[in-house]
Structure formats: C-alpha cells, structure tokens
Chain A
Amino acid sequence: MNWITNYVRPRINSIFSRRETPDNLWTKCDNCGTMLFHREVSDNLNVCTNCGHHMGITPRDRFIALFDGGVFNEVEVPLPQPDPLQFRDQKRYPDRMKAAQKETGEAEAMLIAKGEIGRTPIVAAAQDFSFMAGSMGMYVGNAIIAAAEEAVRFKRPLILFSAAGGARMQEGILSLMQMPRTTVAIQMLKEAGLPYIVVLTHPTTGGVTASYAMLGDVHIAEPNALICFAGPRVIEQTIREKLPEGFQRAEYLLDHGMLDRVTPRTEMRDELIQITRMLLGLTPPVKGDLPKPEPETVSNKDETAPEAVTE
C-alpha cells in the first residue's frame, strides 16, 4: 500500500463517485513502478509512458488500435468438443475454462478478425495471454485454420500476434497436435502466395514458438518480449547456471538471427501496413489515422475478393 492507493485513490473515487467509474484508474508499470493514469496508458497501447515497458494488451484492444477507425469483423471459429480428455488436476478443466471466460469476457484464447489497415484488407489473429496463459489447444488451432481459410478465400495477408505459455496441458496430446495442424494452415497461406507476418509478443513460448510463430515470412517482435521454446527456469534447472541478462528476449533473438525486426507497439501498425503493402505490390500507404471505412465497403469486401490484391 502506498499513499496513492491509500489517499489519492479514495479522493479521486469520491470525486467521481459514480457507479460506472472504473476502480482501476491507475495502473502501475510492472517494470519501473510508475503509477500511470489508465487513459494515458490505454492511449499509448499499454506501453509505459515513462520507461517504454510493454504491458499486456487484449486482442480486442489491439484490434481497435490496429484496424482503420477501429472497425473490424470477427471471424467465427468452429468450436471444438469441450474437455476431450475429461481432464482434472486440482480443478476440473471446464471449471478453469469458465473462470477464464468470466475473467476475460472472451470465449477462448484467440481472436480472429478481418478489416483494413491503412486501407489494406487483411485477416488478423491475436492470442490472448490473459486467457489461460494464451495456451494453444483445439480452439486456438481451429482459430488459426479459420484465419488461414478466410485469408485464402479473400486473398488477404494474415498478420498473427502470438502470446502464449505454450500448449494447453489440459488437452494433452490434442494440444500437441495443434503444432502440425497449425503448420498445415500456414502452408495453405504460403501456397496461395499470401504474406504471413508474425508479431511475437511477450511471452511466446513452448509449442507455439515451435510451430506457427516461427514460420512467418516476416518475424517482428515487441521490445523485450520473452521468446523461447524451453523457458529460462527450465534451462537454469538443467544446466545449473544463471542465464545472462536479456537471454531469450526479443533483442537477443534478433542478434541470433531468429527475427527480422524488433518494433515498439506504438510504431507497429505503420510498419505492418508498410511491409504488407510492399509484399502485395501495392502503392505506398497513406500515413496517419484514417477515417472509418464506409460500412458498405467493408461488407462489399467480404463478398468479393478485394481488387487491391494482384496475383
């Protein structure tokens, strides 16, 4: 407890003592400890305005910031059978799922959407680390397949934001099987000649890194993101020595040739637009915030293949 939570917060709460006032007006940066006003942080895409530390961001918030005018259409993901193994550890798997759904307000650990970025039609997938550590199970596999199919159908590039602790243990071998399954999805994109850009965010580990997150045409990471197969703790236990500072972080992977770029979240959108348009052979993008696309253009684009893509 510090003076801000004890004194400032009650004061502010009493000033705005309305029901709809969020009770977390202040966010503490996990890195530098600065108290940040929530609006300021969310306007800066959950990047600390003091130290530049990248905090977690939900797929929905990311998409609102990514797509022109914050407009996107969710792509439906076929639901897998729930709890195929009847898995039970200290809790039942369905109970863990329900808790995660309640906490996040999302159905599962991945969100798929289509829309335009810089007037460039794309399909985007984002993994939700706040949902059971973003773990990859049947649903995430289905989501990536759905995203790839949608991209192939409308000849759009796929941009995927990864974030996961790895495979979802509660789905046992079926979660492991998402490694080949998602690889098939990526192959469909590649065969269709469509760009597949992976944005690796903190953290991307385990079976996720060892499948679709490392098969992109272009790999971009957010600063200081942990990206690995085996986590640092497991390695320290195995080799019994302390790992160097920055080991398995984005900048380290960039140095070791596993990434193309490390780009701050606030510059990511422009960079994605730029790269995507070049890969698609389109004219240079119009910079800046674009107005919302006309509703009918969005629906038109859905029915016909976009004219923007030339093959």
Chain B
Amino acid sequence: MRFTISSIEIENFRQYKDTQTIDFPFDRKRNVAIIIGKNGAGKTNLLNALTWCFYGFETHTDYEENEKMPIINTSALSALKPNEKTAAEVTVFLDTDVGGWCIRRTISGGKKANGEVFIDPKTKLSVTHPLGGQDKVETGDDTEVLINNLLPNDLKQFFFMDGERLREFFNKDIAQNIGESIEKVSQLGLMYKAAEHFESLEKELRKNVKESTPKLDEINQEIQDLTNRMESLKDSINKNRDETKKNHQELKDVKDFLKNCGIEQVELLENERQSIEDAIKNLGARHHAKVQERNRYLVQIAPFIYLKQPIEQSLSLMQAKMAKGDLPPKIKETLVLELIEKGKCICGSKVEGETKKTLEEYSKTLGLSEIGEVAIVGKTKYKDIFADISLFTQKMDIFHQEIQSFEDELEKDRRRLEQITDELKKGEDKEKIINYEKRRDELNRFIGKLEQQVKMDSGELEEARKILEEKRTEYDKELGSSEKNKKLKVKLELVQQTLRTLANTEIAIKENLRKQIQDNTESNFMRLIRKKGAFTGVIINEKYEVTVKHVSGYNVIDHLSAGEYMILGLSFMSALMNISGFKAPVIIDTPLGRIDDEHRDKITTELPVFLEGTQLILFVTPTEYDEKVRTNLSTFIQKGNCYKIDENTNQNESKVVKNV
C-alpha cells in the first residue's frame, strides 16, 4: 500500500513542548518538504518522534544521551504538582490508497505524592484506518501488525534514513551490512518461519508412525541426531557471526583511536598502515586473479604439451603425403560414389558401361581422400597448436614474472606493516599504544579464528544436509513397505519436497535480489555521481563485497569522498526501496552534511526527480540550506512545505514554525 504523511502532531515529546502540528502537502512533482534546524535543535528528534510513533522506539539517537532524558518534555514534567499527570504523544496522519489513517502513540508520566517523577514504562498505541466504509480504531495487538503491513519495522531504515549512517554504510562492514539488508528486504523471514514449522511438523509426523520396524527406528534416530547437530551448527554459526561483527566494531574503534590519538607520529603511522592494508587487499585480489588466469591457461595448453610428439608425427605424415601429391585430393570420393550409384551425371549424361567401370576403378584409389581432406583442415589447426606450444615457455615466464612481482609487492607491504607495529610501540605514550596494539592483534586473531570456525561449521552443515536428505529417502522407502503407513508417507513426502523447495527458493531469491540490487545501485550511482567519467560501474559479488570500478580498473570503494559515499548509500537504499515493493515516504536527516558543493548541487537537483512520486522530507541545517540549494529545490517544494525549528533562549525547547 502506498502512503504519504499528511501531517504530524507532536505533544510534549522531548524538546517539543505543548502541541505542535506540521502539515506536509504533497504533489507527485512537488514532492519535497524541508525542515531547517541547527545542530541539536531537534531535527533528529522529529525523525525519532516518527519511528517512536510507528514502532515504539527511537532509532536515530545517541542512546547514552537520550536515555538520560525522559521522552516526556522535562519542562512539562517539572511544572506538575504532586499527584499530577501528563503525557507525551505523537500522532501521524497518513494518506493511503484506501483513505486516511491515523497512528497515535502516547506515554504517560507524572509526579508521585512525594514529588518524585515517574514515567509509565508502557506506551499506548492506536491505529485508525478505513475498513468497510467506516473508520476502525484498533488498540490491541493488531495495531503493530497493521503498521508492519504498512511499512515493516525491518525495512524502516531504508525509508527513514540518517544521513550520517548512510555515509558510513559503505565505509565499514560493507558485506555484512548488505547481506543483512538483502535479508530484510527479501522478507526471507517468512520463508525461514515456514521452513521451521514444516520441520516441526515433519518430526511430529514421524512420531505418528503406526507400525514401526527396528530399521525405521534406527533411521529415525539418525535423522533426529542429524537434525540436532544441524541446529547446534546453525546456532554456532550465528553466534560466531555476531561475535565477528562485534570484534570488527571494536577493531574499528581501536583503529580510530590510533588514527585520532593526538600523537602526530602515531596518527601518521596508523594512516599509513591502513592504506597499506587496503593496498594488500587490492594486491591480494590481483595476485589471486593472475594465478587463476595462469591456471586456466595451463589447463588449456596441457593436453597439447603432452601430445606434442603424436601431433608432430601427424604433421610430418601429412607433409609427406602432400609432397607425393596424395594430398589434397583432387576429387571427392563421395562425389565419385554418388555418380556410380545414381548412374547419372549432373549434366544429364548417363553413367554406364566403360564410364562407370573407369569411375569404379578410380574410386578404389581414393581410399584416404576423405580423411586427407579432414587432415588438410586440421593441418592449419596443427600449425596454430604448434605456435601456441612454442609460446608456452615465454607465456609462462610472463605469468611467473607478474605473479612474482605481486608477491614481492605484498611481501614489501607486509614487512612495512611489521615495521609500523614496531615503530608504534617505541613512540610517545608507548604503554597505551602497546596495549592498543596488543588488542588489535588479539582482535585480528579472534576474527580470523571465528571466520575459520564459521567456514568449518558451514561446510559440516552442508554435509549434514546431504546426509539428512539420504536418510529421509531411506526412511520413506522403509515406511512405504508398510500398508498402514501409506497415508503418513504421502504427507511426509509432501512436507519433505516442500522443505527442499523452500531451501532452493531461498538460494535463488538471494541471488536474484543480489543481481537486481547490483544493477539498480549501479544505474542509480552512475546517474547521481558527479564524476561520471571517473567510474565504470558498481559490482556486488556473491559474498556481498562491493567494488566501485574506477576507469583505471582499480576498485576504489575504500577511497571515495564523503559525497561519493553518500551517493553510493543513496543509490543502494533506493535500490532496496524499489525492490522491497513498499511505497512509503523517504525522510533523510542531514543528507547534505559534510559533502562538497558539487555533490550537494547534484543531490538537490537529481534526487527529487529520481524519487518523483515519492514524498521526500529533508532535514537540513541553515548552513546546508544555502542560496544554491534553495534555488535548486524551489521547483520541488510546494508553498508552505518548508519549516524551521526555533529554539527558546535557553536552547532547551524547540518549536517548528513555517519558514517564510
């Protein structure tokens, strides 16, 4: 269902005291609304108000900061007398394909008799929506289901975005982020649940076997053991993946600390180390590609190298035949035989008597001609093959040189990394740096071990899956021998086929989505990027690793500017939005921060067109909303669709007012 936000009403929510209403008139072409606010004035809390109203929590927040403050406006709370109550409330009015919706969430709080402030831990949610020509108000469990049907909680981040996080998206843990996003957008969760429930049913069905045999019991036990082992492997894989993610985050923190520790020498060395690590990654990939190219060449040329002698003999035999005039044949044997058989020439003359006899004798001398003809064609190929064989040593030398040069460079870089580690440990504030260095090594080791464990577990899981399939077939065969279990067998077979199809569908969907997202991201990126001539494309491979291809052939994913990361993030999110099938407004908090003028120009002229028909609400700072941006966006903003956030003199309360 398509929806747009027609208005938001906020009451006593964080710094927004009393009731404030923001209307968002919408038009397909004039699809942009702007909210201008200084840093800290409350832009992000407006986005939080929205996610809190929909899903009950604030996603775009610095938790440490916001957790200290109650959601209910603190001035409203402190103005209460003992035993008085107040509430914070956010109401979002929506226009949908089927009529107007209203989503309202309230949280209560107040002062106890002793003056102590309390906040009710539970929030109240109500959804009013059109049903059967009337407005229906839902307040129970169904409210969350209704909102999830409108825009699932898992997908909200692709519509309600934080500019800063969008820039960061491609900056760290890319593969994991992309994998998780594809998982969310594909709603594979539904399939996992269905598979889980079919598996339980399968177990239950086996328990209902009416006439068991020792063999059936034995196989059933094996199936049980295998399923249990698979469960524990899945748990271990998930646990280790989570652990790896945490370690990657800590590793990033350690690297960031070293990069910004304030000791110039350390910062320089850490920066150098990170560029060397990037270079090693790049060189490693190129080295791997070259080794593969050499191996492919070897597989292709190897049969000819081994058959060199017989090929030489064949060629000299052909050359001798040619010298004798046996090759090439003057007349085709098939033609002579055809003339004899048909008894008639193409000119109409009859082939009979002496003529026929002469031809019959001549045909006997043409025994090898057909083979000879093939050999003549083959001779040219033999020459090519010989040319290839003679180039073998030379080609292999080139391969070796290139591979060796990669290995030398890698070795040089690795040695430099070791030197950097030593230098870091010798410098200023060395104890602290040594500790960080130790932690860095530890984390790298942990990550390596965890990744290895995940690889091993995944391999074992795959193997267990295959054995399980065999055992199930064996079980069905044994089950089929009993008349009493026939009905059960039909059910079991259907459930098993369903489970197999679900597993295959999961793989196919992921692959299908990856390709679609890659193509959409690439076309979005190439459209929005400023330096069109500098990039040739974006690739998201099977492992969800992203390559941004530079014209020089290098992958520059680790070397993009803040603006380019923003464009890449927007391109990817748009691809996901598109594929998710949900039609919701796109709200971006500070999309124009920390990016250069040209990209700012590009985003403000292209994005509204790019998202034509989709409501686009942008939160910007006054500095970002400069003359150029204002002019660019003026064609896309309806009158009255521009607001500013005014702070009071103490800068602890804010009001949203029309920006005229």
A and B interact physically: no
Binding site for B on A (CB under 8 A): none
